Amino acid sequence: MIHIKVLFHTNQYQACAWGNHHSEGVIDWPPAPFRILRSLVAGQYNVELSEKHLPTFKTVLHKLAAVLPSYTLPPVAYIQHRSPRPQVNPKTAKVEPGKTLYSAGMLMSSTENALYIHWPVDLSEVEELVLTLCLEGITYFGRKESVASLSLVEDAPPPNAEVNPKGTRIVTIADPAQDSEALWESLNLSAQKNYAEDRSAVFPGIKQITYQVKEPVLPPRGAQYHTNSVTLSVTASSKLPFNQSLKLTHRLHQALVSHCPAPVFTGQEMGEYAKDHDHTILQCVPDRSGSYVEQIQMYCHRGYAPEALAAISTAIRYGLKGVTRGCDVSLAIADIGRKEEAFTNWESVTPFSWYVAQRCDGVNLEC
């Protein structure tokens, strides 16, 4: 058994899951074994591994590809943001929409920013030396923003992410059935050449498998935070018609996500739609005439954490400009509600009226 320690110096990990576009925000977490092997190949190029040690390095890669590792993942927080970059047209001197930069990753604290990879293999002394040298050639792990250093360590904490057929995290692995030369070609093949130049729909030498990550134990639903509903009063420069309520809630949702991209507002876990319904539900309330928006009701079954309430407060402070043409909206907290305990006994208080009609000999009898 060998243990590889990955230390993230910028306290972040950014890497798009294999087969997903970077704009989807799906993170390769835990890092796929195939990604680790390709990083080792990049590391050996950086250290300029001599030709006489290349067969030993290929043997190490083949041993690692034959088995599946387990991981000790640090506590992380998923974050995603999109930053538009307008461009000036040199011919017309007008500002036009440009590219949008996408960024999604895992943030970690400065005290817990180490990832451990446990690989159940036995290496000779020479193979360990070659592996150590190639690990030193890796300067980042994932995207270039994820500056990291990798090294072999003697001891490591117990794993919290392991292979599980019923797992929820899909990762890419190298096909264990291929020989060392086929593996070497697959690890050196660029996605640009395979998909764009060769126009191949399948990347050779890879398979997918599922891992199960031990998530932190959360309190029961509805018991974590007391505040479950927030009612906002709506004041606009001109009355906002109720048929524009969808635009209003969409703008508010954008503002909340920009200030706090948490599952309570995004409805996503690490770029994938959450399996539960513990996200915010937005609903506009009309005034007495039913023609204009008077309030916005926000509800979350689990409740709002302090950072979520801070995001709501920030959205209120800045308001929503340009919801419709010439209409700026100001928001204020009108009410904060808490989830009450559910009753186990109930009784009907709705009055009932019975209507019985019978027909007998052509006469209607009603009571």
Same domain, 199 and 98: yes
Domain count, the chain: 2
Q: Alpha carbon of 228 to those of 222, 305, 333: distances in Å? A: 8, 10, 14
What one-letter code names the amino acid at 326?
A: G
Q: Is 23 found in the same domain as 171?
A: yes
What letter represents residue 321's amino acid?
K
What domain range includes position 321?
A: 227-338
One domain for residues 115 and 236 = no
Residues 6+ apart with CB under 8 A from 264: 278, 279, 280, 300, 302, 304, 305, 308
Residue 356 falls inside a structural domain: no
The reply to whether 57 falls in a domain is yes
Q: What's the pTM value of the predicted model, to 2 decimals?
A: 0.63
10 Å CB burial of residue 265 (0-12, 13-18, 19+) is buried
Query: Beta partners for 338?
Result: 227
Rounded distance between C-alpha atoms, residue 206 and residue 29, angstroms: 17
User: What pLDDT score was predicted for residue 321?
Assistant: 81
Confirm if 131 and 150 have CB atoms less than 8 A apart: no
In a domain, residue 96? The reply is yes
pLDDT of residue 340: 52
Residue 168: what pLDDT?
Answer: 87
**Inside any domain, residue 54:** yes
CA 242/CA 250 separation, integer angstroms? 14
Instruction: Identify the pLDDT of residue 128.
Output: 95
Is 298 part of any domain?
A: yes
The rounded Cα 250 to chain-centroid distance in angstroms is 20
Encode pLDDT of 178-203 as tens digits: 999 999 999 999 888 888 888 888 88
Sites in the chain below the pLDDT cut of 70: 81-85, 216-225, 270-271, 338-367
Q: The domain spanning residue 261 has which CATH number?
A: 3.30.70
* Co-location of 251 and 197 in the same domain: no
Closest Cα partner for 43 from 140, 126, 129, 121?
140
Residues 72 and 172 in one domain: yes
Over residues 88-102, the pLDDT tens digits come to: 777 887 777 777 777
- So what's the pLDDT on residue 346? 60
Residue 164: its pLDDT value, please? 93
Do 271 and 318 lie in one domain? The reply is: yes
pLDDT for 92: 80
331 in any annotated domain: yes
pLDDT on residue 254: 87
Which whole-number Å values give the CA distances from 125 to 58, 78, 278, in the listed order? 15, 39, 52
Angle CA(345)–CA(349)–CA(353) in degrees, nearest 5? Answer: 135
- What is residue 99's predicted lDDT score, i.e. its pLDDT? 72
- 180: in domain: yes
In a domain, 170, yes or no: yes
